């Protein structure tokens, strides 16, 4: 049984999510998402991770580690979109 598809965030929300990941997540996971204090968030590093596990980590964090939960800022659909993008190659932030 396939997992239901999440609602796709609007284009403007996608831009906000890209900025959050590049700026906030990048502060620990590296500005290129190749690792730092946090582990790499590259497609190769995440290819064998179940999508649901990545979404749970984004929403709830990882107890006992510096990884916070983002449920106050992100919906489950937002987290699912982010996880899917991370697994396929995260988009660059568009500068005005």
pLDDT band at 7 (very low <50, low <70, confident <90, very high): confident
Angle between helices 76-88 and 51-60 (to 10 degrees): 130
Alpha helices in the chain (DSSP H): 11-20, 26-29, 43-46, 51-60, 76-88
Structure tokens at 31: 């500005």
The answer as to whether 59 is a domain residue is yes
The answer as to whether 1 is a domain residue is no
The answer as to whether 75 is a domain residue is yes
* Residue 95 CA, distance from chain mean position: 20
Look at the chain and report how many structural domains it folds into: 1
The pLDDT of residue 50 is above 70: yes
Q: What is the span of the domain harbouring residue 15? A: 11-88
The pLDDT of residue 95 is above 80: no
Sign of the CA dihedral running 52, 73, 67, 78: positive
Q: What is the mean pLDDT of the chain?
A: 92
Give the pLDDT of residue 1.
Answer: 44
The pLDDT of residue 69 is above 90: yes
The answer as to whether 3 is a domain residue is no
The answer as to whether 2 is a domain residue is no
């Amino acid at each position: 049984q396939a997992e239901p598809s999440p609602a796709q965030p609007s284009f403007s929300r996608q831009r906000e999510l890209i900025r959050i990941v590049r700026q906030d997540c990048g502060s620990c996971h590296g500005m290129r998402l190749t690792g730092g204090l946090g582990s790499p968030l590259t497609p190769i590093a995440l290819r064998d991770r179940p999508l649901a596990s990545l979404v749970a980590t984004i929403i709830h964090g990882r107890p006992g580690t510096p990884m916070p939960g983002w449920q106050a800022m992100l919906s489950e659909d937002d987290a699912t979109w982010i996880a899917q993008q991370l697994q396929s190659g995260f988009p660059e932030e568009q500068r005005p």
